[in-house]
Structure 1
Amino acid sequence: MAHIFDARKMAKLDDPRRKEFISPGKIMELLQIQEGEIVSDLGCGIGYLTLPAAQRVGSGGFVFGLDIQEAMLVEALARSRQNNLYNIAWVLTPPDRISLPAESVDCLTMVMVAHEIPDLGGMLKECRRVLRPGGRVGIVEWNQTFTEIGPPLDHRLKPEVLLQEMEKQALPVWN
């Protein structure tokens, strides 16, 4: 079984050092997220990427923040209200599928989540299902070296495993 982040430790997700490893701005730049787009952030947690994405897509766009843990979504909702961001739907979703219609998003992100998914191949198939034609998937994962923050090395996903699974689902790959 995959390791699932403990929602009782969500304060760790606010650690300022995270931005040194995982810059929301850089992720959105690499994925070319634009104003007016529909974005889905799978495993959104407390809204680390969802909130900046909602600002970036503006009032003409929309973001779905999906997570399997209700406590994460409750915190994310509070943060979106504090920031007056109302172009976000917070969606409790099961670990084996994405609770969105087919071909409904321009861009789907998974930031430091893929290593937690029990059936990665099945979930990537779901990613393919919800993407609009020409849509983009951005998966950011921990590397295979020691870092002061992040999961233990034995919980991290090997890049070749992720790439192999993405290729099986015919998802675009670039690093």
Structure 2
Amino acid sequence: MIRVKWSLLLIVAAVACGAAVDRADRAERAASGMNGTAQDTVGPAAPPGEPARAFPSPMRPVADIVAPRWSDEDDRDDVGEFARVVRLAKIGRGQRIADIGAGDGYYVTRLSPVVGATGQVYGQDIMPDYLALLQRRVRREGMRNVQVVRGDAHDPRLPAASVDVAIMIHMYHEIEQPFALLWNLATAMRPGGRLVILDLERPTYGHGTPPSLLRCELAAVGYRQLSFTKTAPSEYVAIFTAPDSTARPTPASISTALSASPCRAPGGD
């Protein structure tokens, strides 16, 4: 019962935030004459990778995707979230960054000036409504170094060897097929590329990821942890090196290894 109440509270808060975004977006579209049709359509940036069926399913709940942003942008700026992630991830001018699960663009709009004209930002998501919001925001703010990309739940659909740093902000627990997504993401990573995950130390049904579970799932695909930083009482930033796409475990070997030693949430959540 406590678990259900907690999940409902999270969903209500996120839906309220999403409703505010939707109202603002409708007002903007009405003022600009935009009708949200073909001009906002975006697609993948790469051919399909390995299918989801080639990988085992995670042995833990998957949280629902309920809103295009985690919380109010001003509040996040006030606590220094973006600046802290950029510093820990060592993101700078000229780099190519992928925001996986970009929503309506909190990180994308702030990353664009950080990487500059010689850099590239991929704003990737799987939700059509969120992609439309992001596409319009990118166009409105004139961010020429941003490409909006529609991915699949198991595949980011990013160009091969195109990404220096991929970030996943408050969304890892929403990934239906983490092993496939991580495997396909490795194809898009440049040698030495880093994956940066910001999440909460909560069960996945409570919109967080226990660190031990996170480490297990990433290690199964060949990712190696570089650092783990507590950024708030229940928040952390974990940074991993992506495996070389030619040396990562095969889908079959991942399935075999996880069958023998599955990644389980602490306490069986």
Query: Shared fold by TM > 0.5?
Result: yes
Class of the TM-score when normalised by the shorter of the 2 chains: 0.7 to 0.9
C-alpha distance after superposition, 1:110-168 (max 9, x if no partner):
101100001112212122221110111101112229xxxxx963x42211111111222
Q: TM-score, normalised by structure 1?
A: 0.85
Q: Give the greater-gyration-radius structure (CA).
A: 2
26-35 vs 120-129, which deviates more?
120-129
Distance verdict in 2 for CA 1:108–1:65, change over 3 Å: same
Residue in 2 aligned with 1:160? 212
Give distance in 2, aligned partners of 1:113 and 1:5.
8
* C-alpha deviation, 1:74, in angstroms: 1.4
Letter in 1 for 2:212: E
Q: Displaced runs of 4+ in structure 1, greater than 6 A?
A: none
Aligned to 2:63: 3
Mapped partners of 1:167, 1:152: distance in 2: 22
- Contact 1:37–1:61 at 8 Å: present in 2 too? yes
SS class of match (1:123): helix
Aligned sequence identity (%): 26
| Mean CA deviation greater in 11-20 or 65-74 | 11-20
Is 1:89 aligned to 2:141, yes or no?
A: no
Size of the alignment, in residue pairs? Answer: 167
Kindly state the Cα deviation for residue 12 of structure 1 after the two structures are TM-superposed.
5.8
AA paired with 1:169?
V
Q: CA deviation at 1:19?
A: 4.1
Counterpart of 1:87 in structure 2: which amino acid?
N
Root-mean-square deviation (CA, aligned residues, Å) is 2.2
SS in 1 for 2:106: coil
8 Å CA contact 1:136–1:172 kept in 2: the answer is no
TM-score, length-scaled by structure 2: 0.57
Deviates more, 1:15-24 or 1:115-124: 15-24
1:90-128 Cα offsets, whole Å, 9 max, x none, are 111110101112221111111011000011122121222
Aligned to 2:175: 117
CA distance in 2, matches of 1:121, 1:22: 31
- Contact kept? 1:107, 1:131, Cα under 8 Å: yes
Which one is further off, 116-125 or 72-81? 72-81
Structure 1 segment 9-28 matched on structure 2, within 5 A:
10=68, 13-19=71-77, 23-28=81-86
Residues of 2 paired with 1:81 and 1:16: CA distance?
21
Map 1:1-175; keep pairs closer than 5 Å.
2-7=62-67, 10=68, 13-19=71-77, 23-144=81-202, 153=206, 155-173=207-225, 174-175=227-228
Kept in 2, the 8 Å contact 1:104–1:131? The answer is yes
* Structure 1 segments unaligned to the other structure (5+ residues): 146-150
